[in-house]
Amino acid sequence: MSFRSIFQHISAGFGVLCNFILIILIIKKSPKTLGSYKILMIYIAIFDIFYAVIDALIVPKMFSYNSGAFIIVSTNEALLPKSWLLIANLLYCTFFGTSMAVFAVHFVYRYLTVIGSYYIKNYDRQIIITLMTFPVIFGLVWFWMTHFTLTASDETEQFFNKYYYGVHNSASDIFYVGYYFYPEDAYGNKALHSRSFRGFLFQSTFITSSFGLILYFGTKCHLHTKSLSSKTVTSSSRFSLQSQLFYALVFQTIIPVFLMHIPSTISMCAAFTNISIEFISQILSCTISLYPALDPLPNFFIIKSYRNAITQYLTDFLRLLTCGKKHLNVIHVQSRNTSKI
């Protein structure tokens, strides 16, 4: 087992644990004023758990060369049956693409909440269900388009025969999804691969749209939250909670941006310009696996009720260890005194 696969399994385990703890905190320790938003918070945590599990089950790696950039799943490393690996790889790509849509709907809800929207007051549950449905539809479209534009083709098989098979795995051992922008013909001439380019345009449009929603509603939410601070003292507790939730969400969003989307965008643009940046591809699978593990942490540190709960749990645990150690020392001293008598 390679260092990369070990790292991915450890990250996945840590991600499942942290998100499971977060779900417990949301259910048990959330302020009453949090309301239905905790449903969306649990929604993110469950999303991260599934992402971590898929990562651990298929252990994907990245491969780039010239104008090709691919996510590869190998039967030698994956824990799933061979017949499931292509679908699992497509799901992995779908979770990657849907991550920003999940955060986008949270910013929409946060904005509607801080402005005291009529729809939140009267149709809260309906709004929650609608917002939760959007990433699902988004993901289904992403899965379908990725399957029809970025899976194996004659051109990509030619690429793998030339640059990958024989050196790494055989054709029957891997399943891949990705771009090959400029395939070569028999005479070495290159032309833009329309199938890969359509996939590139589709995914770029979807991710850009998600970022647009995040920036728009995030900015409006931030400006309105700041305006709450200038109101009466009676709104100070509400302002504090809204600020905590907003900044926790901001940092949760920043984590996948730096761990996933910026490196993958660099790799994708490099392939589009027919430049290979191999070291980015080598570390990308590791940084992506860190995302579900690190994503819950802003909630632990920023949201006061969760921070206090974790501090109390750790204090009780340390006290238990200390008391247990003292108890053992007392028994040890008593036994020595008894032996002298």
**CB neighbourhood size of 87 (10 A):** 13
Burial 196-234 (b: 16+ CB within 10 A, else e): beebbebbeebbeebbebbeebbebbbebbeeeeeeeee
Q: At what angle do helices 85-114 and 194-228 cross, to 10 degrees?
A: 30
**What's the confidence (pLDDT) of residue 327?**
56
Residue 340 has pLDDT above 60, yes or no: no
* Alpha-carbon span 36 to 29, nearest angstrom: 14
* Alpha-carbon span 93 to 330, nearest angstrom: 58
In angstroms, the Cα distances linking 110 to 225, 244, 248, 301, 320 are 10, 11, 12, 19, 40
Q: Does the domain spanning 3-309 belong to CATH 3.40.630.30? A: no
Q: Work out the average pLDDT over 179-187.
A: 86
pLDDT band (50, 70, 90) for residue 170: low
Q: Which of 99-108, 261-270, 313-322 has the highest mean pLDDT?
A: 99-108
CB-based burial label for 48 (10 Å; 0-12, 13-18, 19+)? buried
Contact 281, 64 (CB under 8 A): yes
In angstroms, the Cα distances linking 289 to 10, 16, 272 are 9, 11, 25
pLDDT band (50, 70, 90) for residue 229: low
In the chain, what are the domain boundaries? 3-309
Residue 160 has pLDDT above 80, yes or no: yes
In angstroms, the Cα distances linking 265 to 177, 268, 272 are 16, 5, 10
Residue 100 has pLDDT above 70, yes or no: yes
Q: Mind listing the pLDDT tens digit for each residue in 37-76?
A: 999 999 999 999 999 999 999 999 999 888 899 999 999 8
Q: Which of 170-174, 258-262, 275-279 has the highest mean pLDDT?
A: 258-262
Least confident of 191-200, 251-260, 327-336: 327-336
**What's the confidence (pLDDT) of residue 235?**
56
Residue 326 has pLDDT above 60, yes or no: no
* Alpha-carbon span 277 to 141, nearest angstrom: 29
**What's the confidence (pLDDT) of residue 297?**
95
Contact 37, 141 (CB under 8 A): no
As a whole-number percent, the residues of the chain with pLDDT over 70 amount to 89
Q: Mind listing the pLDDT tens digit for each residue in 200-216?
A: 999 999 999 999 999 99
CA angle 281, 285, 288 (to 5 degrees): 120
pLDDT band (50, 70, 90) for residue 233: very low
Q: Work out the average pLDDT over 91-114.
A: 93
**CB neighbourhood size of 73 (10 A):** 24
Q: Mind listing the pLDDT tens digit for each residue in 123-132?
A: 888 999 999 9
Residue 151 has pLDDT above 60, yes or no: yes
pTM listed for this prediction: 0.89
Residue 234 has pLDDT above 50, yes or no: no
Contact 268, 97 (CB under 8 A): no
pLDDT band (50, 70, 90) for residue 335: low
Residue 228 has pLDDT above 80, yes or no: no
State the average pLDDT for the chain. 87
Q: What sections of 150-277 are H helices per DSSP?
A: 154-163, 194-228, 236-256, 262-272
**What's the confidence (pLDDT) of residue 167?**
67
